[in-house]
């Protein structure tokens, strides 16, 4: 490795690390707000919330790697250009394309790192996040808060009214439960006493009343003791079969899944969506190399150096990239483009512009 290569690598490293910290922090702000909401509005324990945070880091890093190398390239080449070091290198016999070689190698290394994360770490993290979220948030519902002389919900479609409640013994007195029915009026259970214990409500001395759709009481049953499943937890998470979606699979698993769906005769729109996810797993990592190709010549053409200029340019380029990416996916979903071309379209377009700018500055 020549001195010039080591020097440019060193110039790229510091702004790249700054870019990683900057963009990861930007993504984590939104994540932290969601996690705080889980703690205070959903009652999720802080220990579980911390695991959500850990499992969310790998996808955040994968998104941030290309952004960070773009910022690093813009800042590094902007500083080299503003201090006339690019001019000095050219005077020493180095063409601009040769000066860009260390940056291109850096882009390839970050591409490989992003692909490695995307294949080995992100699917596992997404799978663990999905399972934990389903277990602790989606499929679980906290026990109802019981209050005297007020209606409260206990499971889907059920409302209770309690005259008296003993928080020590958990016994309820003067109980009325309304249970919604698909076609008729709600079923009503009246009892002198009841007790609610994790999915099962026991009623003592009461009556069950069913009503016709016009509101008349057509059937009632008296009981001394009745055990009634309330389902305060929507479902037992252990009873739910596990299945992976595209984001929980690596590229080989997803390809095998697509082939299986094709053999089963799945509809074309569903296959297209899976192919889009498949090619996305390759296009996003290669965005690091594409951003280097566009960042090096643009960084040299900034009128003044500085991190703020690099951040501004990187935000504009990233915004343009993801607009093109979203447009390409939309065209692919509408069958106007193939999934490969739709997802890779921004890489091809921005990459070609970057190569043209590099050779334009070659002399």
Give the strand pairing for 200-211 and 217-229: antiparallel
Specify the pLDDT at position 156.
63
pTM of the model: 0.68
**pLDDT value at residue 135:** 76
Cα–Cα dist 244/249, whole Å: 7
Tell me the pLDDT tens digit for each residue of 293-332.
998 888 887 655 555 666 778 888 989 999 999 999 999 9
- What pLDDT shows up at residue 234? 43
Q: Is residue 352 predicted with pLDDT exceeding 90?
A: yes
* pLDDT tens digits along 61-72: 999 999 999 999
Q: Domain residues of the chain, as ranges?
A: 3-139+243-360, 151-231
The per-residue b/e assignment along 181-219, b for 16 or more CB within 10 angstroms, e otherwise, is eeeebbbbbbbeebebeeeebebbebebbebeeeeeeee
Q: What is the pLDDT of residues 22-44, one digit of tens each?
A: 889 988 888 888 888 888 766 78
């Amino acid at each position: 490795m020549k001195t010039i290569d080591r020097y440019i690598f060193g110039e790229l490293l510091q702004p790249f690390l700054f870019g990683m910290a900057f963009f990861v922090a930007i993504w984590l702000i939104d994540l932290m707000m969601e996690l705080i909401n889980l703690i205070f509005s959903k009652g999720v324990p802080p220990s579980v919330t911390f695991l959500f945070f850990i499992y969310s880091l790998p996808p955040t890093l994968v998104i941030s790697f290309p952004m960070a190398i773009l910022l690093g390239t813009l800042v590094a080449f902007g500083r080299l250009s503003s201090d006339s070091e690019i001019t000095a290198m050219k005077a020493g016999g180095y063409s601009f394309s040769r000066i860009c070689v260390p940056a291109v190698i850096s882009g390839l290394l970050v591409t490989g790192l992003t692909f490695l994360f995307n294949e080995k770490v992100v699917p596992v993290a997404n799978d663990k996040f999905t399972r934990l979220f389903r277990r602790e948030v989606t499929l679980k519902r906290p026990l109802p808060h019981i209050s005297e002389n007020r209606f409260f919900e206990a499971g889907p479609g059920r409302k209770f009214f309690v005259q008296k409640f003993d928080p020590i013994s958990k016994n309820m007195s003067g109980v009325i439960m309304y249970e919604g029915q698909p076609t008729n009026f709600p079923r009503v259970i009246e009892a002198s006493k009841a007790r609610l214990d994790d999915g099962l409500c026991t009623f003592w001395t009461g009556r069950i009343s069913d009503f016709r759709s016009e509101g008349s009481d057509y059937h009632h049953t008296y009981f001394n003791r009745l055990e009634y499943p309330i389902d305060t937890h929507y479902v037992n998470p252990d009873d739910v079969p596990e299945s992976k979606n595209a984001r929980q699979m690596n590229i080989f698993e997803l390809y095998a899944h697509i082939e299986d769906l094709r053999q089963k005769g799945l509809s074309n729109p569903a296959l297209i969506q899976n192919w889009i996810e498949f090619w996305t797993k390759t296009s996003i990592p290669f965005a690091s190399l594409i951003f280097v190709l566009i960042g090096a010549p643009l960084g040299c053409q900034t009128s003044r150096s500085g991190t703020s200029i690099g951040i501004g340019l990187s935000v504009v380029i990233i915004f343009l990239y993801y607009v093109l990416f979203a447009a390409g996916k939309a065209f692919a979903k509408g069958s106007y483009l193939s999934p490969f071309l739709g997802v890779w379209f921004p890489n091809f377009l921005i990459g070609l512009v970057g190569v043209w700018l590099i050779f334009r500055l070659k002399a």
